[in-house]
Chains A and B, each alone.
Chain A
């Protein structure tokens, strides 16, 4: 279970640009939940993910995960148990390494990176089966540099890689936003498959209202650093895009989001 307790965060403190993003923000995510988070730009969605992953530190408040206080823990230490897929497909993989090398690194996560051979040829078959699930033919391009793959392929690979380790939580940071409609559909479908299979607690930020409704077990809408909608179960099942859109229109007339 993940708990954000009384989180406060102000950007550009003490300058004319000072803006309070979170003021006593609270959120509880139960184990096994798949939470979709929507909200307009600047509502605090990505900042919340950054706080959970440790790329940002709150001014006050605590982040507790399975009873352990993460607030002061560095980003890379948190990554032992928390996986993340970014909006930018370039972030989740190394362009200068081959698919095989990227996977070999991920395969060794939470183990020692010593002076033994990095790529174990006995594992290649296993990597191949993982890649086959993407249905993109990546399994036949293991020695291709990741930099030459398309955005959708890279994002699918990033997703596979994030799921190679036994994690407690998966963070999806608008991970379909930079992809074309077809690829984003594929990647979303793949995400759902992975999350279902591993029952991993997941938090997905998205601008795609349909994805937010169709996928996941709980839906949160954020606005100015607060959760203004928080639905789950039947209530979520019965929600439709128009309902959410109405709320969006109510809270801000200028929403520059793609629907």
Chain B
């Protein structure tokens, strides 16, 4: 029973953590129709920025905002490559995320005071025991840690952060700038006719998407307690699968905001992985399970679309 409880704990916590990544994809993929591979790099960048700053004693909430800015900057780089240099979306993401492998590593090594002499020296950032992380700082530290087998402190904090970023995105999409972004994805020519540069709008959208991905990376670091240079791998699948599961299951519900659907999608996706673990599937199978789930989500969402068209 306690194994079940603790897996529910982990599922929810991971769900909220990746929900922010999936919301980023909501902006870049759903709104802008841009398959953005940059997140493999920016999730890690956000984690590196957060890890180094928190380790240096910077307020973790501030570090979370900085990680957003880091993702925002690298995301706009992808946008720049696409709109100004005319490079295809997939290639832009590959280029930037490849470059970020080095950038992240160098920043980590320099930040940890290591040298480049021994390759891979100090390529991980350990948050350590005494470091003031999000949970050890006001206001999260006021919450009780252990309630009936749940780590309530971590769960509530992650939930609150996910909801905060959801509300921010909802609010942004209702502003003039946000509506213009939605118009860009829907009909870029319309934006041109509004005398606005649609290229700038695209850059902005990718910047926001990657800002969210970086925040997600920061939370991963908060949750795991360390930065691992490999932690960006697989983020495209996690983000997109969560997004597509959420939108295809709950997207049609009228009163529910798409961002809410995306959070639920992320939790469900983590739930499926958690159930596999509970059933005793070795973690080596994790990535193939992810790929299969993603395939099911894609097939499911297109089947649902067809069904809707038939009914219409």
Contacts and interface: CB of A to CB of B under 8 A. Distances in A.
A97 B194 contact: no
Interface in A107-123: 108-110, 112-119
Which of A92, A105, A112, A117 has the most chain B CB within a 10 Å cutoff? A105
Interface stretch (A5-13, A22-30, A78-86, A185-193): A78-86
B177 interface: yes
B189 interface: yes
Interface in A57-85: 74-77, 79-80, 83-84
A149 B238 CA distance: 36
Nearest to B193: A79
Contacts of B178: 118
B82 interface: no
B187 A95 contact: yes
A79 B191 CA distance: 10
Interface string B140-177: 00000000000000000000000000000000101111
Interface in B209-233: none
The dominant DSSP class at the B interface is helix
B174 A118 contact: yes
B198 interface: yes
Interface residues of B, number: 23
A118 B175 contact: yes
A105 B179 contact: yes
B312 to A, nearest CB: 9
A142 B190 CA distance: 18
B239 interface: no
Contacts of B176: 105, 108, 112-118
A18 B52 CA distance: 59
Which of A92, A96, A162 has the most chain B CB within a 10 Å cutoff? A96
A116 B175 contact: yes
B192 A79 contact: yes
B183 interface: yes
A105 B173 CA distance: 13
A91 B187 contact: yes
B185 interface: yes
A50 to B, nearest CB: 12
B226 to A, nearest CB: 36
Contact of B177 (A76, A77, A92, A115): A115
Contacts of A97: 179, 182-183, 186
A106 interface: yes
A94 B192 contact: no
Contacts of A74: 197
A92 B183 CA distance: 11
A104 interface: yes
B182 A113 contact: no
Interface string B106-141: 000000000000000000000000000000000000
13 contacts: A84-B193, A90-B187, A94-B187, A97-B183, A101-B179, A109-B194, A114-B176, A115-B175, A115-B176, A116-B175, A118-B175, A119-B179, A162-B193
4 closest cross-chain pairs (CB), A and B: A94-B186, A118-B179, A96-B186, A80-B195
Given A91-B187, A96-B185, A113-B196, 20 more contacts: A75-B192, A76-B192, A79-B194, A79-B195, A93-B190, A94-B186, A97-B179, A97-B186, A101-B182, A102-B190, A104-B179, A105-B179, A105-B194, A109-B194, A113-B176, A115-B176, A116-B175, A116-B176, A118-B174, A119-B179
